[in-house]
Amino acid sequence: MSKIQQDSSAFNINSNKANHFDAIVVGSGMSGGWAAKEFTEKGFNTLVLERGRNIEHGDYPTATMEPWTDPHGMAMDPQVIADNPVVGKCYAFTKEHEHHFVKDNEHPYIQIKPFDWIRGYQVGGKSLMWARQVQRWSDLDFEANAKDGHGIDWPIRYADLAPWYSYVEKFIGISGNRDGLNQIPDGEFLPPFEMNCVEKDIKKTIEGVYPSRNVVIGRSANITQRHNERGPCMSRNRCARGCPFGGYYSANSSTLPAAKKTGYMTLRPHSVVHSIIYDDDKGKAIGVRVIDANTKEAIEYFSRVIFLNAGTVNTTAIMLNSKSNTYQEGLGNENDVLGRYLMDHDFRGYARGRIEGYEGSYFNGHRPTGLYMPRFRNYKNDRQEDFLRGYAYQLRAGRGAGNLKAEDPKFGVAFKDKLTEFGSWGMSMGPMGEQLPYAENRITLNGNQTDDWGVPLVEVDAEFKQNEDAMLEDSLNNAAEMMKAFGCKDISTGIDPEWNVGLGIHEMGTARMGHSPKDSILNKYNQVHNAKNVFVSDGACMTSSACQNPSLTYMAITARAANYAIDELKKGNL
């Protein structure tokens, strides 16, 4: 056990005044960048702490690399995959992207049940490698817990968040179409990407056969025209490498430069946050304890307000490790709620089929978004007996390079000629199912094992349950039926047996919002109920998971919470 765990006097409470700030933001990624932007633009001296290395916008070494410039054609070293059985499952963990991902042995954790924790420890976090899908949530989602009784009631509704969705969308830039669908309310959009000829026919067929099901172009944080001195997107679909054009939203290209421009941001990478310093006499937090990732030096920083945006699991781990006389089981943990109700999205299933009749057609570029079918189950007149809530689909149609069949030769002139031909058209559908909040799906801290910085190892105990399994079965049956209606051949569906909770990379919950400290950690403004100068506005704050991608909601919630905190600071309430 480290000295830090045994003795809080390892930290100098009377540290240098240079370590004092108006605000501290823990985490520099999707939501942390937004907290930094809001505080600094309002004139508050803000410290942004990031446990990983610094990456400046443009510092993307593989952004313009081509396969023929690499000795191995950008193929991943098989030994790297063998050494990383968790992160190696991620679709984006490839040769050109691997430097953005945490390797399995670098930051260990304990899996009580299999949990695939995909992380990016660097300035910008996972905003550098996210899939950029940005649907708004609606009251179908914010009212679901109250209506079906599973989980607690959200303390906010769509009306509370709608202006903040607009605020975020206008700044980051989102391509999309105003589709008039209540499940995914319309936002502030730049021109959408265009569906290809096959996808247009898919949309026409499905909406004709199934009037309650809609197919829309994916709303994406890729900008189709120059926006806020960034972009436009070049349709290279190489986003996870980092985009030198700023063609998609990342904290590195957008919010952090805005914060830096003010002169009020101090960015400190290589800073592992150990815990929050809570003053029992004052009844509030006064700062954070940090371990320098390189030197292992223990440092304290102090501020009037603290925003936790380290990512769902890490934010909650920091809170669990923040113990005081008032909070002996973790900051804000008054009723054993902290760490519970961990959620992800269920992407385990897939459906694929071959398409005939479009051999004379192709498409232009490598569009960085697909199609989207919003939820139709347990919505309006649809009522399911086998499961609560619903799912969406991410779908697309395309054709591959290389007109190769199984019986064709694998080398020689004929092989090379086949590689220059277009392959057949195909269609894929991937369901994205909501996971319900369960108290037993949780993270805890190990009492005996610590990492290299003296921080207790995270333990994760989570699984998909019967509701998710029933939903998945229904989604695959419907996918096959819709593909058949379009005329697909050789349709196949399946479930990835290696897919565990976490691999959706949409981990949520564990420090949820609610009305009362009896069953939640945060209030409607993302404040810890009885430690009101600590705010949590990343995925940890979520009370349910919906079936839309969550990052836009994290950003809107953060902008709302930060501006509330700013108003409270000005009033002297924090």
Domain ranges of the chain: 3-175+219-346+434-463+500-571, 179-218+347-433+464-499
Q: 59 is written with which tokens?
A: 């510092």
Q: Domain 3-175+219-346+434-463+500-571: which CATH class? A: alpha beta
pLDDT at residue 528 tops 60: yes
Q: Confidence band (pLDDT; 50, 70, 90) for 12?
A: very low
Q: Which residue has the higher pLDDT, 7 or 317?
A: 317
Cβ within 8 Å of residue 289, ≥6 positions away: 4, 11, 273, 274, 275, 276, 277, 298, 299, 300
pLDDT at residue 11 tops 60: no
Give me the pLDDT at residue 405, please.
Answer: 81
pLDDT at residue 14 tops 70: no
pLDDT at residue 1 tops 70: no
Identify the three-state secondary structure at position 147: helix
Q: Confidence band (pLDDT; 50, 70, 90) for 323?
A: very high
Query: Which one-letter DSSP state was computed for residue 42?
Result: T
| Average pLDDT along the chain | 95
Averaged pLDDT, 443-449: 97
Q: Which residue has the higher pLDDT, 569 or 9?
A: 569
Closest CA to 515 of 41, 269, 154, 77: 154
Q: Confidence band (pLDDT; 50, 70, 90) for 488?
A: very high
pLDDT at residue 450 tops 90: yes
Q: pLDDT > 70: what percent of the chain?
A: 97
Give me the pLDDT at residue 416, please.
Answer: 87
Q: What's the pLDDT tens digit per position in 224-264?
A: 999 999 999 999 999 999 999 999 999 999 999 999 999 99
Give me the pLDDT at residue 287, please.
Answer: 98
Q: 472 is written with which tokens?
A: 């998945």
Of 9-18, 68-77, 372-381, 515-524, give the lowest mean pLDDT range. Answer: 9-18
Rounded CA separation 287/301 (Å): 5
Give me the pLDDT at residue 407, please.
Answer: 84
Give me the pLDDT at residue 16, please.
Answer: 56
Q: Confidence band (pLDDT; 50, 70, 90) for 386?
A: very high
Averaged pLDDT, 254-278: 98
What is the model's pTM? 0.95
Cβ contact 346:432 at 8 Å: yes
Q: In what order do the strands lie in the sheet with 110-111?
A: 110-111, 456-461, 442-450
Give me the pLDDT at residue 3, please.
Answer: 34
Averaged pLDDT, 136-150: 97
Closest CA to 124 of 253, 233, 294, 303: 253
Give me the pLDDT at residue 10, please.
Answer: 37
Cα separation values, 11 from 20, 49, 527, Å: 15, 17, 26
Cβ contact 133:222 at 8 Å: no
Residue type, 242: G
Q: 268 is written with which tokens?
A: 């400190």
Q: Does the N-terminal peptide bond of residue 232 adopt cis geometry, omega within 30 degrees of 0?
A: yes
10 Å CB burial of residue 328 (0-12, 13-18, 19+) is exposed
Give me the pLDDT at residue 6, please.
Answer: 32
Closest CA to 316 of 150, 116, 523, 528: 528
Length of the chain: 574
Report phi then psi at 34, rounded to 5: -70, -40
Q: 346 is written with which tokens?
A: 């269920």
Q: What's the pLDDT tens digit per position in 82-119?
A: 999 999 999 999 999 999 999 999 999 999 999 999 99
Closest CA to 432 of 218, 237, 173, 251: 218
SS (H, E, C) 87-121: HHHCCCCCCCCHHHCCCCCCCCCEECCCECCCCCC
Cβ contact 481:491 at 8 Å: no
Please work out, in degrees rounded to the nearest 5, the angle formed at the alpha carbon of residue 87 by the alpha carbons of 91 and 298: 135
Report phi then psi at 126, rounded to 5: -80, 0
pLDDT at residue 362 tops 70: yes
Give the max Cα distance, the chain.
Answer: 80
Rounded CA separation 202/198 (Å): 6
